[in-house]
Amino acid sequence: MHIETSPADGPVLPIKQRLLIRFAKAKTVVGPKWREMLAQNDAFFDTRTGEAYMRSVAQAFSDPKRGHVDRIEQVTLALERIAGINANPI
């Protein structure tokens, strides 16, 4: 299957990069205690698995080669909810 795009569309960032940009915006709004806020507002992030997801995303934010896109998505969407950001589809 081949999908054509016009040159006017320009290059599109990969989903992972777009999610990390959104994560950065939400993290800025929530503040430096974003992990604590997630754990308080979403029971999943108050578990070992949830902590691992947050750690994974923090590492991916520092080094985009790291982190799994599904984890980044889950943390980003939850953080955007707390920040009051209306999330657009990914």
38 has a pLDDT exceeding 70:
yes
> Could you report the per-residue pLDDT of 70-82, keeping only the tens digit for each?
999 999 999 999 9
Token duo for residue 2: 């081949």
Average model confidence (pLDDT) across the chain: 90
pLDDT at 34: 98
Res. 1 pLDDT band, cuts 50 70 90: low
> Could you report the per-residue pLDDT of 41-60, keeping only the tens digit for each?
999 999 999 999 999 999 99
CB 20 within 8 A of CB 64: yes
